[in-house]
Structure 1
Amino acid sequence: MDFATAIGLVAGVGTVLGMILIGGGSLASYFDEVALVCVIGGAFASTMVRFTFPTMMSGLPMGIRYGLSMLKTSPRQLLDEITQVADVVRKSGPMGLENVQVDNPTLAQGLRYVADGYDREFIKDALEKDRDNFVQRLEDGSKVWRGIGDVAPAWGMISTVVGMIMMFANMEDPSKLGPAMAVSLLGTLYGSLIANVIALPIADKLAMRLSAEEVLRSMIIDGILQIRDQRSPTIVREMLSAYLPEHHREELAEA
């Protein structure tokens, strides 16, 4: 899991629990099944109306898998790896790729294309389609989680309205006023927590991951094409350094 995400989730949950415990309340008093069902069920229902079912089934796991995880490879590490592979191909030709092992699956796929002798246009089109499809799935995931974050507070308000109606409808029975008030107030709390601690942060993380993955995969595509053309490692490094952040380019120039 991404370090910042883990800290943020723990801090968010810890803040709420700390407020409850410091205030002298019990955790059981902050749990209400009716309000929880209203907010969670309503948020998912509204999001399913907004998106297609395949988009929902793809977007939800994308958020959990990629929104909460870190990139395994940085652009600088990827640059060094591609440069090393270019050096192997420059010295041994495409057959030298049989002994090359890389962790990045996209880079590995591109190197298999080069080793098998596919033409340049096929390699470019295949890798670009794979990149675009993956980026589109990340974008769909971001939209789904943002949709949940958008409607969760509204369903919290709906829960509040339902609780108020329940309370006013049972004014003659004091025993029912407490549960109705719990539905009214806890629905707003649940909606705000789901939106601001879970859904919207995951949506933003996916949007950031989308940009990072697009850069990395574009970098891989350009690197693979340069390797296929058997360009020198120096030319490959100079070309791909344009994908690095400014401070990394300065470090590379100094090195």
Structure 2
Amino acid sequence: MDFASLIGIILGFALILGAIAIGGSSDVFINVPGMMIVAGGTIAATFLTVQFRDVLNAFKAAWIVFTRDRTNAQEMIDTMLELSRISHRHGLLKLGDIETNSHVLRRAANLLAEAASEQVIRNTLQNEIDSLISRHHTVQDVFKKMAMYAPSFGMLGTLIGLIQMLSALKDPETIGPAMAIALLTTFYGSLLSTVIFLPIAGKLRARTLVEVTNLEIIREGCISILTNDHYAHVYEQLSSYLPEDSRKPLRLGKTQDDANGKKT
């Protein structure tokens, strides 16, 4: 569970609702026709712009991002270092037996076990990276479009409310409430855009950067393993993906174990 996202959503709505409650009656902020215009219009415009399948995939991806923990770069580096140790002790063929939830890592390990060339491994994993970026860009674009449409339909709802208000100017007492109702749709559109759609798009983009980094670590780690680089060399190359103050110190005992494993 991504607690930062959960805290952000709860805190955002809590502050807005708290400000509304402190300012007076909250009933005036409820307008069903305005909600229908903003929510229905945003959904309809999104379906007109992108494929239905892409919209479903976008919401599925958002759910996965908010409910599943991500694999950080340090964990992926540790995994590649473990594969390096296995290859030095038992050979590349042993890498075909590893168990992992990452289909990309499993595919890369199988390529190593099959003694694929460096160019094949590099091209294959680069294709995986490009494909991931393309898929995630489509998902992010759905929420960016919804963030763009929501305020527009909010303004459209406000114009509808103003037209209805101006058509009933004979009763001055109704102008104030009618104006408030007209402005509510703009409020709904801005709320959806700034509190829901744009933050989700930003979170998806952040997750994309993390996953791309992990795939790059897999790619470079596999190339190092294929070229039979020393364990310490693999560590130095992959640790460059982390900030210096976040890097784990290299445990040299592991390399000594590898050396002993080779001798036996």
TM-score norm. by structure 1 comes to 0.84
Segments ≥4 residues shifted beyond 6 Å: 173-179
State the identity as a percent: 30
Determine the C-alpha separation between the residues in 2 that align with 1:84 and 1:31.
57
Aligned residue for 1:34? 33
- Matching residue within 106, 109, 117 for 1:108: 106
Structure 1, unaligned stretches of length 5 or more? Answer: none
Aligned residue for 1:2? 2
Q: How does 1:80-99 map to 2 (within 5 A)?
A: 80-99=78-97
Deviations 1:75-96 (CA, angstroms, capped at 9, x unpaired): 1121111111111111101232
Aligned residue for 1:15? 15
User: Once superposed, what is the RMSD of the aligned Cα atoms?
Assistant: 2.9
Distance of aligned partners of 1:134 and 1:235 in 2 relative to their CA distance in 1, 3 Å threshold: same
Structure 2, unaligned stretches of length 5 or more? Answer: 253-264
Q: CA deviation at 1:237?
A: 1.0
User: Which residue identity is paired with 1:34?
Assistant: P
Matched-pair contact (CA < 8 Å) for 1:32–1:186: yes
Q: CA deviation at 1:160?
A: 0.8
User: Which residue identity is paired with 1:19?
Assistant: A
Matched-pair contact (CA < 8 Å) for 1:159–1:183: no
Deviations 1:107-141 (CA, angstroms, capped at 9, x unpaired): 22211222244443333222221221111111222
Aligned residue for 1:128? 126
Matched-pair contact (CA < 8 Å) for 2:151–2:190: yes
- Matching residue within 107, 124, 145 for 1:147: 145
Determine the C-alpha separation between the residues in 2 that align with 1:177 and 1:112.
72
- Matching residue within 221, 224, 234 for 1:223: 221
Determine the C-alpha separation between the residues in 2 that align with 1:225 and 1:113.
11
Distance of aligned partners of 1:176 and 1:108 in 2 relative to their CA distance in 1, 3 Å threshold: farther
Determine the C-alpha separation between the residues in 2 that align with 1:71 and 1:169.
54
TM-score norm. by structure 2 comes to 0.82
Deviations 1:192-243 (CA, angstroms, capped at 9, x unpaired): 1101101111111222222222111111111122223333222211111221
Between 68-77 and 230-239, the greater mean CA deviation after superposition: 68-77
Residues matched between the structures, number: 252
Q: CA deviation at 1:50?
A: 4.5
Deviations 1:41-85 (CA, angstroms, capped at 9, x unpaired): 22234444554555444444333433x356522111211111111
Q: How does 1:59-208 map to 2 (within 5 A)?
A: 59-66=58-65, 68=66, 72-171=70-169, 180-181=178-179, 183-208=181-206
Determine the C-alpha separation between the residues in 1 that align with 2:42 and 2:98.
48
